Amino acid sequence: MKTLKIGNLTIKKPILQGGMGIGVSMSGLAAAVANEGGVGIISSAGIGLLKPSKGLNFTEANIEALKDEIRKARKKTRGLIGVNIMVAMTNYGDMVKTSLSEEADFIFSGAGLPMDLPSYLNGSSKTKLVPIVSSARAAKILCEKWKNQYDYLPDAIVVEGPKAGGHLGFKLNQIADDNYSLEHLIPEVVDSVRVFEERYNTKIPVIAAGGIYTGQNIRDIMRLGASGVQLGTRFVTTNECEASDAFKQLYINSKKEDLSIIISPVGMPGRAIKSSFIEKVNLGEKQPIKCPYKCIHTCNADNSPYCIIKALINALKGNFKAGYAFAGSNAYLTNKIISVKETFNAIMREYSLSI
């Protein structure tokens, strides 16, 4: 594999580990990926709920927890560390400011277009800004907005297709439509971005995400113009991933037909592994909730059948009667728990054999 350059940073292996909340991708997993020459990514979603924080409110707890995770990752690696921050989060600005103050190498931002992300930068900021989009149109709008308003262009762009795990930036009828497949989107985004690269004499690498699992997948998508890839699902079943063994075992035990599309309380479709909790929700059983967090702008707690942040934390701990696990479309390919190093070695072998 070719190295990936984003600004002045060189990624030895062009593999980014996806940011997976809540609590699935933390400092341990991120550092292990960084040590193998990829980019490790900490998910900031609900991070403050994972550890007791006496005397701190939800906002304060998230700030302190993110600082702690970035610092822990730094102690374990000299490699590259990023933070995934969803635009839809009500504490978005706090998470961005914290990532910048802790000098994370990257901020990856999706679940909405991060139109004002460059506004948080100051003259000494070293952090690279990488938006996550799901169309060439979105990439074009964002590049124009950033350049016109902030004289800044994305340092790279992640294109996430409809086979990703978690919340998807597509309508229900688009998810299975080949016109919205990652293979269709990547050349379109590459062409859209090239206009800005040529106009402003710069490089904006396009990184493919969503449903990429094997070395063959990586080679195929890079042949279409992607400069790198982002994988989430494959790193879940590693020793270094902080999710519970029960969470990982759910991936290992899953079959292709277990991967289902749900409608999240935040108003977006998402891909998850079937569980008894999802079955209850599909039958119309509402879980009484009170919302103490107000964590997502688009979540209408009064009409939601359950609290998504609680459901995801329950799943993280292995309680699938009260929650569910998000997963990419290839989660069923997983068959055992191995180290991040072994995972990288396997991906590289697959890539070599796909020539």
pLDDT in tens, 203-245: 999 999 999 999 999 999 999 999 999 999 999 999 999 999 9
Spatial separation of the C-alpha atoms in residues 299 and 165, rounded to whole Å: 19
Q: Sign (positive/negative) of CA torsion 37, 42, 43, 49?
A: positive
Domain 4-243+336-353 annotated CATH 3.20.20.70: yes
**What residues does each domain of the chain span?**
4-243+336-353, 245-316
DSSP for residue 275: -
Q: Which residues of the chain have pLDDT under 50?
A: none
Note the pLDDT of residue 352: 94
Q: Do the Cβ atoms of 100 and 54 come closer than 8 Å?
A: no
Spatial separation of the C-alpha atoms in residues 35 and 158, rounded to whole Å: 22
pLDDT in tens, 312-332: 999 999 999 999 999 999 999
SS3 347: helix
Spatial separation of the C-alpha atoms in residues 196 and 198, rounded to whole Å: 5
Note the pLDDT of residue 297: 61
Note the pLDDT of residue 268: 85
Helical (H) or strand (E) element with 265: none
Note the pLDDT of residue 266: 81
The β-bridge partners of 60 are none
Note the pLDDT of residue 56: 85
Note the pLDDT of residue 58: 83
Spatial separation of the C-alpha atoms in residues 277 and 281, rounded to whole Å: 6
Note the pLDDT of residue 280: 86
Please give the single-letter amino acid code of residue 82.
Answer: G
Note the pLDDT of residue 143: 98
